[in-house]
């Protein structure tokens, strides 16, 4: 085990460094919740019910209370089974409800609140490591003010997944391979898109193995690994690039162990579902098919957008969708040009591809993209270049608009 694997920044010091980002994030989320409460009260609705007992949160609560096996058969023949929902969030809800007076729904809300703070800290840690503290703070604030940011406070799995993904990626970037593997495995128990975290860990590991082989026999490689272990450089030397996608210093066996651990969570659940349904390793795909979910390369989404142009009013929505997809692709391309670390590009690319190219309900796509936080780093860097007063004004204005939209959204169609 190497210094990179075992050495960690003291938590109090790391928390002090992240404090501005976390305080800003908490303020944005508090504004969103307050706006939701006022809007819901004006419509004689319960904001807390909207956050904890609607849409997917009900499915997670049923899993926590009753276990797997519940399903709904629709008139058109579709079967909505709760096996589609990965188990980590329901397990946490059940565990908290068992040792506290909280109900399962209350526990889900508590997990969401804590996980959203952990996710914000993880986003800060990754951006701070790659681009510096100011960019890290801005990255968290941009993530907080997303139009669908209210989902971060719902009893959904997005916040929990983003927290696990962000800290797994941070562990990869800092050479803590076993930690990265364990967190990737837990992410794989949270959402199907956990495979994106696994892929990021694997790609970084493979690059590191190839680099080790290329460096074998190179007299300078020992000196480079020594610098990487100490985390600095002597006079006249260049410090290792913080954007290095595969830090030197880890023992190959440690790295190999991380690669073995990373896919265990997702693989275990998918295989269990296949066994339970009697349909083998592909049984989970049949469960998703019952929800009309699948990967079709974006055909269904493209057809959905095309249908918007059949009439004038909906054509405006079609234009908006095209602009939105174009913005997502542009942000990814900018991230590539800014030389984001390879694990971040792999992770963000797969999350984006799975969100845009799935045949799932199209209204869900904005929230499915929310865990792809590296897409926001170009915006964070642009915001970080502004004066503090100007960036605060920009973030504040967007935060108000996001809070109003979130309240309107949850009191309307909501995030299915």
Is 416 within a domain? no
CA distance 245 to 232: 17
Is 243 within a domain? yes
Convert the pLDDT of each residue in 32-90 to its tens digit. Answer: 999 999 999 999 999 999 999 888 999 999 999 999 999 899 888 888 999 999 999 99
Total residue count of the chain as it appears in this document: 416
Distances (CA, A) of 306 to 310, 315, 319: 8, 9, 10
Q: Are 292 and 84 in contact (CB under 8 A)?
A: no
DSSP 3-state of 295:
strand
pLDDT at 387 over 80: yes
CA distance 157 to 163: 10
33 vs 9: which has the higher pLDDT: 33
CA distance 193 to 197: 8
Confidence of residue 412 (pLDDT cuts 50, 70, 90): confident
Please report the sign of the dihedral spanned by the C-alpha atoms of residue 260, residue 261, residue 265, residue 268.
positive
Is 296 within a domain? yes
pLDDT at 1 over 70: no
For tokens 């659940």, name the residue: 269
Phi, psi values for residue 274, rounded to 5°: -60, -40
Convert the pLDDT of each residue in 197-211 to its tens digit. Answer: 999 999 999 999 888
Q: Are 97 and 110 in contact (CB under 8 A)?
A: no
Is 415 within a domain? no
Q: Are 367 and 381 in contact (CB under 8 A)?
A: no
Alpha helices in 73-193 (DSSP H): 88-99, 104-131, 133-144, 158-173, 177-188
> What pLDDT is stored for residue 312 in this prediction?
72
Q: Are 195 and 188 in contact (CB under 8 A)?
A: yes
Query: Domain range holding 103?
Result: 3-232+239-410
| Domains held by the chain: number | 1
Convert the pLDDT of each residue in 110-137 to its tens digit. Answer: 999 999 999 999 999 999 999 999 999 9
Is 191 within a domain? yes
> What pLDDT is stored for residue 203 in this prediction?
97
Is 10 within a domain? yes
Q: Are 348 and 372 in contact (CB under 8 A)?
A: yes
DSSP 8-state code for residue 239: P
pLDDT at 305 over 90: no
For tokens 């040009």, name the residue: 337
Neighbours of 304 (CB within 10 A): 16
CA distance 246 to 29: 34
> What pLDDT is stored for residue 236 in this prediction?
35
Confidence of residue 324 (pLDDT cuts 50, 70, 90): confident
Percent of the chain surpassing pLDDT 70: 88
pLDDT at 232 over 70: no
Convert the pLDDT of each residue in 331-341 to its tens digit. Answer: 999 999 999 99
Confidence of residue 214 (pLDDT cuts 50, 70, 90): confident
CA distance 364 to 341: 28
Distances (CA, A) of 376 to 123, 142, 169, 235: 10, 7, 15, 35
Output the CA torsion 174→175→178→182 (10° steps): 30
For tokens 């999350």, name the residue: 351
CA distance 94 to 106: 11
Lowest mean per-residue pLDDT among 1-10, 26-35, 402-411: 1-10
> What pLDDT is stored for residue 243 in this prediction?
57
pLDDT at 389 over 70: yes
CA distance 326 to 360: 20
CA distance 92 to 285: 25
pLDDT at 314 over 90: no
Phi, psi values for residue 72, rounded to 5°: -125, 130
- Say how many CA atoms lie within 13 Å of 70 toward its Cβ: 13
Neighbours of 227 (CB within 10 A): 18
Convert the pLDDT of each residue in 238-289 to its tens digit. Answer: 344 555 555 555 778 899 999 999 999 999 999 999 999 988 888 999 999 8
**pTM greater than 0.85:** yes
DSSP 8-state code for residue 238: P
pLDDT at 231 over 60: no
Q: Are 29 and 116 in contact (CB under 8 A)?
A: yes
Cross-strand bridge partners of residue 358:
295
Of 376, 379, 377, 369, the closest CA to residue 325 belongs to 369
Q: Which residues contact 5 (CB under 8 A, 6 or more apart)?
A: 175, 176, 177, 178, 249, 250, 251, 254
> What pLDDT is stored for residue 296 in this prediction?
73
Instruction: Characterize the bridge pairing of strands 71-73 and 79-81.
Output: antiparallel
Distances (CA, A) of 83 to 54, 167, 196, 290: 18, 27, 20, 11
């Amino acid at each position: 085990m190497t210094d990179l694997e075992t050495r960690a920044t003291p938590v109090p010091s790391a928390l002090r460094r992240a404090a501005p980002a976390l305080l800003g994030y908490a303020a944005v989320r508090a504004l969103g919740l307050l706006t939701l409460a006022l809007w819901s009260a004006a419509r004689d609705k319960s904001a807390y019910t909207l956050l904890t007992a609607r849409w997917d949160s009900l499915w997670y609560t049923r899993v926590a209370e009753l276990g797997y096996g519940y399903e709904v058969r629709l008139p058109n023949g579709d079967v909505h089974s709760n096996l589609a929902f990965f188990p980590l969030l329901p397990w946490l809800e059940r565990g908290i409800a068992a040792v506290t007076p909280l109900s399962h729904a209350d526990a889900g809300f508590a997990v969401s609140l804590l996980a959203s703070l952990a996710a914000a800290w993880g986003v800060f840690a990754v951006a701070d490591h790659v681009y510096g503290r100011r960019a890290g703070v801005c990255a968290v604030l941009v993530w907080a003010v997303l139009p669908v940011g209210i989902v971060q406070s719902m009893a959904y799995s997005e916040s929990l997944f983003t927290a696990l993904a962000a800290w797994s990626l941070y562990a990869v970037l800092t050479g803590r391979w076993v930690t990265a593997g364990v967190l990737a495995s837990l992410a794989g128990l949270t959402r199907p898109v956990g495979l994106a975290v696994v892929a990021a860990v694997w790609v970084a590991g493979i690059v590191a193995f190839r680099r080790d082989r290329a460096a074998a026999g190179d007299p300078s490689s020992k000196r480079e690994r020594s610098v990487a272990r100490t985390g600095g450089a002597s006079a006249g030397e260049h410090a290792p690039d913080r954007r290095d996608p595969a830090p030197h210093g880890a023992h190959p066996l440690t790295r190999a162990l991380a690669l073995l651990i990373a896919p265990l969570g997702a693989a275990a659940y998918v295989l269990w579902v296949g066994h339970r349904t009697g349909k083998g390793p592909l049984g989970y795909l049949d469960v998703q098919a019952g929800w009309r979910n699948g990967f079709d390369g974006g055909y269904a989404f493209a057809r959905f957008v095309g249908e918007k142009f059949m009439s004038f009013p909906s054509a405006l929505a079609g234009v908006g969708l095209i602009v939105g997809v174009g913005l997502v692709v542009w942000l990814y391309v900018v991230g590539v040009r800014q030389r984001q670390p390879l694990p971040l590009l792999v992770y963000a690319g797969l999350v984006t591809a799975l969100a845009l190219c799935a045949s799932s309900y199209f209204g869900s796509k904005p929230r499915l993209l929310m865990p792809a936080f590296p897409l926001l780093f170009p915006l964070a860097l642009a915001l970080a270049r502004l004066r503090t007063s100007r960036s605060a004004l920009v973030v504040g204005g967007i935060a108000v608009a996001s809070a109003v939209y979130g309240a309107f959204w949850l009191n309307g169609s909501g995030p299915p």
